Amino acid sequence: MRKTSLIFVYGPLLVFLALFALVPIIGVISSSVWARGITSEFYAQSLSGQYLNAFFTTIQVAFWSGLAGLVGGGLAALALWRTGWRWLTTALSALSGVLANFAGLPLAVAFMVTLGASGLVTNALQTLLHINLTQMGFNLSSSGGLILVYSAFQVPLALLVSLPALTSIPDDLEAAALSLGCGVPGYLRRVLLPILAPSLLGTFALLFANAFSAYVTAYAIAGGSINLIPIQIGYLIDGNVSLNVGLGNALAVEEMVVLGASLWVFALSVRLRAKRRAKVKGETAIV
Amino acid sequence: MFEKWLYRVLIVLFLLQVLLPFAGLIQFTLVGGSGALSWASFATLFSDPSFASSLINSLWLAAAAVLLSIVIFTPPVWHAYLYAPRLLRVIEAVSFTPFVVPAVVLALAYVQFFSSGLLNLVGTPYLLPFAFALLGMPFYIQVFLNRLRHADARAIHDAAQTLGANDFQAFVRIQLPLLRSGIINGSLLVFTISIGEFTITQLTTGGSYVTLPLYLLITFTNNPLEGSAMAVVTLFLAVAGVVAALTAASGRRRRTPAVTAGEEAS
């Protein structure tokens, strides 16, 4: 292909990426350390007071919702894989795809009308069983409430991510383990779990990143009453841009560092799995 | 025996956990107002003129984002897949940008970068199709690559050239029809993402440009019943988009289903 036509092939992508990703992001990074000279004041600010608290709350919500997602989605994936119902697997994967990627806002609304202060379940518990959720300390817009809501998209995401890890396990592995005298529980715990450990860690890292960057769900449910990093960044944009851009940029850079590190762990686990599978295939071929 | 039942219980638990909130949502939408089953909340929603205007806003933004994705992502991914595998790996890695740079950070970057000079786009909706295309990029590229890997595109392209077609002719008249299902699938995902995007829309326009998700939240605050009817509609659109993409994927060998799925979503 001639060089001129290569410009038409790659040019639009390069311009698009430069304009709508690279340059704006470099702008954020550079102005997080620059205000009439190099400065670390924005980072100092972003790691103290309410912003430091926001970090702790965000980590807390991301950690627990990630763990809930890993356990719930992992067990559901295990059950689907072991029962081997293909149509159910396809249907639940599709459902999970919708919930994990596209359901932030409807999900928030669904939880508010069911478990909110005057939600259906809240009211039903009050009138039928005289259980007052609010008096028991339950509040949908607290970090505990958000962990519950986030789990509704973390569990489907974990299912989606861990299914391929499970299906990549060779079928004869179980037969081999069973014939060597370890029962099904032993196979699950002593053979499967060690094999899956990197995948589980990777999945958890992905879920952590997912919750750490979630904005819409938290915004719809709690508005300004929950102190999370994405909410703080949104507030700095929405409220008063000119007031403290540097602080917002510092928070954004910290957010990107956390997400980058988590996704790096996830990518490592995926690559490890691919390598291992190639190795298993190679050995079978030799035999 | 015990094992089998354990797995069934686990699957049922998963379904309950995932579907209960939505059962609550649908119940609230249908009987929440009067205590009797009624479609009134949907009637209110569909007769609201701002519903129609936000639907139109969302539809043109999504259509523009899909068009941009097709034009910007298809040729380089195709070319790199055939001739530059190393470059393809770079493109793939870059396509995951939105996972490391979430919507809220992109919005922060955009309000600073697009607020002056030639590209003074903050506060207007013209920034949004580009932003949506960026958010959809990893999905579009993965789905399109998946089709490329199954299509034997290289051999067919070589054959076309041996028969005397130049690169452009072969791309437009042979490769595009060959890879159509991948393009349709990717487009459906970009469309679904665009229809549901809230963060960048709200933060870069200051809420002045009302799309479906913004309308959903505004309505829910004013009138929870109408808002939850809107949530049901949004969810239905997302399910339709994903199901259409899956139908197109499974019907890749037959021609008609892919086309029908594309028509349904647009």
> Cα torsion at A241, A246, A248, A251 (round to 10°)?
180
Report the CATH number at residue B99. 1.10.3720.10
Question: Is B10 in the same domain as B63?
Answer: no
Q: Is B172 on the interface with A (CB under 8 A)?
A: no
Average pLDDT of chain B is 86
Q: Do A19 and B10 touch (CB under 8 A)?
A: no
Q: How many CA atoms lie within 13 A of B1 on its CB side?
A: 0
B254/A66: higher pLDDT: A66
User: Which residues have C-beta within 8 Å of that of residue A133, sequence separation ≥ 6?
Assistant: A115, A122, A125, A126
Residue with tokens 């379904």: B15
At residue B259 the predicted structure's pLDDT band, cuts being 50, 70 and 90, is very low
Q: Shortest CA distance to B131 belongs to which of B96, B107, B114, B160? A: B107
Distance of CA B236 to the CA centre of its chain: 13
What is the reported pLDDT for B251? 57
Question: Is B164 in the same domain as B224?
Answer: yes
User: Which residues have C-beta within 8 Å of that of residue B149, sequence separation ≥ 6?
Assistant: none
Question: Is A5 in the same domain as A130?
Answer: no
Cβ pairs A/B, distance under 8 A: 228
Q: Shortest CA distance to B182 belongs to which of B100, B248, B94, B107? A: B248
* Closest Cα in chain B to A106: B231
SS3 A10: helix
Question: Is A22 in the same domain as A96?
Answer: no
Alpha-carbon gap, residue A251 to A228, rounded angstroms: 11
What is the reported pLDDT for B258? 39
pLDDT over threshold 70, residue B23: yes
Q: Shortest CA distance to A159 belongs to which of B197, B148, B13, B249? A: B13
Angle of helix A143-167 relative to helix B2-31, nearest 10 degrees, comes to 130
What is the reported pLDDT for B94? 94
What is the reported pLDDT for A244? 78
Residue with tokens 């200051």: B206
Question: Is B138 in the same domain as B21?
Answer: no
Q: Do B196 and A104 touch (CB under 8 A)?
A: yes
What is the reported pLDDT for A285? 52
Question: Is B257 in the same domain as B176?
Answer: yes
Residues of A whose CB is below 8 A from B6? 79
Per-residue model confidence as pLDDT tens for chain A (287 residues): 667 788 889 999 999 999 999 999 999 999 899 888 888 888 988 888 889 999 999 999 999 999 999 999 999 999 999 888 888 888 888 888 888 887 789 999 999 988 887 777 777 788 788 777 777 777 888 889 999 999 999 999 999 999 988 888 887 888 888 888 888 888 888 888 888 888 999 999 999 999 999 999 999 998 878 899 999 999 888 765 555 788 999 999 999 999 999 999 999 998 888 887 777 766 655 44
| CB-CB neighbours of A113 under 10 Å | 27
SS3 B219: helix
pLDDT digits (tens, 9 = 90+) for B71-101: 999 999 999 999 999 999 999 999 999 999 9
Alpha-carbon gap, residue B151 to B149, rounded angstroms: 6
Q: How many CA atoms lie within 13 A of A256 on its CB side?
A: 21
Token pair of A47 as six digits: 């790691």
What domain range includes position B143? 39-265
In chain A, positions 39-58, which contact chain B (CB-CB < 8 Å)?
A: none
Task: Count up the domains in chain B and report the number.
Answer: 2
- Residues facing A34 on adjacent strands: A38
Question: Is B11 in the same domain as B79?
Answer: no
B116/B25: higher pLDDT: B25
Question: Is B223 in the same domain as B261?
Answer: yes
Question: Is A187 in the same domain as A56?
Answer: yes
Q: Which amino acid is at B86?
A: R
Task: Count up the domains in chain A and report the number.
Answer: 2
**What kind and span of H or E run contains B139?**
helix B128-151
Contact (CB, 8 A) for B202 and B214: yes
> Both ends of chain B: CA-CA distance in Å?
48
Contact (CB, 8 A) for A219 and B201: no
Question: Is A67 in the same domain as A171?
Answer: yes
SS3 A34: strand
What domain range includes position A137? 41-286
Question: Is A95 in the same domain as A171?
Answer: yes
Q: Shortest CA distance to A64 belongs to which of A137, A159, A148? A: A148
At residue B254 the predicted structure's pLDDT band, cuts being 50, 70 and 90, is very low
Question: Is A111 in the same domain as A203?
Answer: yes
Question: Is A114 in the same domain as A204?
Answer: yes
User: Which residues have C-beta within 8 Å of that of residue B264, sequence separation ≥ 6?
Assistant: B240, B244
Q: How many CA atoms lie within 13 A of B119 on its CB side?
A: 11
Q: Do B14 and A10 touch (CB under 8 A)?
A: no
Q: Is B161 on the interface with A (CB under 8 A)?
A: no
What is the reported pLDDT for B257? 41
Q: How far is CA A122 from CA A81, A136, A151, A186, B15, in A?
A: 36, 11, 19, 42, 21
pLDDT > 70 fraction of chain B, expressed in percent and rounded: 92
At residue B168 the predicted structure's pLDDT band, cuts being 50, 70 and 90, is confident
Question: Is B63 in the same domain as B113?
Answer: yes
Q: Do A83 and B83 touch (CB under 8 A)?
A: no
From the CA of B39, how many Å to the nearest CA of chain A? 17
Question: Is A238 in the same domain as A162?
Answer: yes
Lowest mean per-residue pLDDT among A240-244, B238-242, B261-265: B261-265
Q: Do A28 and B130 touch (CB under 8 A)?
A: no
Question: Is A153 in the same domain as A19?
Answer: no
What is the reported pLDDT for B263? 37
Contact (CB, 8 A) for A114 and A120: yes
Question: Is A118 in the same domain as A46?
Answer: yes
Angle of helix B40-47 relative to helix B49-83, nearest 10 degrees, comes to 80
Q: Is A184 on the interface with B (CB under 8 A)?
A: yes
Report the CATH number at residue A129. 1.10.3720.10
Question: Is B33 in the same domain as B116?
Answer: no
pLDDT digits (tens, 9 = 90+) for B170-229: 888 888 988 998 999 999 999 999 999 999 999 999 888 999 999 999 999 888 888 899
In chain B, positions 50-79, which contact chain A (CB-CB < 8 Å)?
A: 68, 71-73, 75-76, 79
Q: Helices (DSSP H) in chain A: which residue ranges? A: 3-17, 23-32, 41-46, 49-83, 86-102, 104-115, 120-129, 143-167, 172-179, 184-186, 193-212, 216-222, 229-239, 245-286
Q: How many CA atoms lie within 13 A of B178 on its CB side?
A: 21
Question: Is A23 in the same domain as A46?
Answer: no
Question: Is A14 in the same domain as A54?
Answer: no
What is the reported pLDDT for B248? 72
Question: Is B20 in the same domain as B76?
Answer: no
Residue B264, class by beta-carbon neighbours within 10 Å (0-12 exposed, 13-18 middle, 19+ buried)? middle
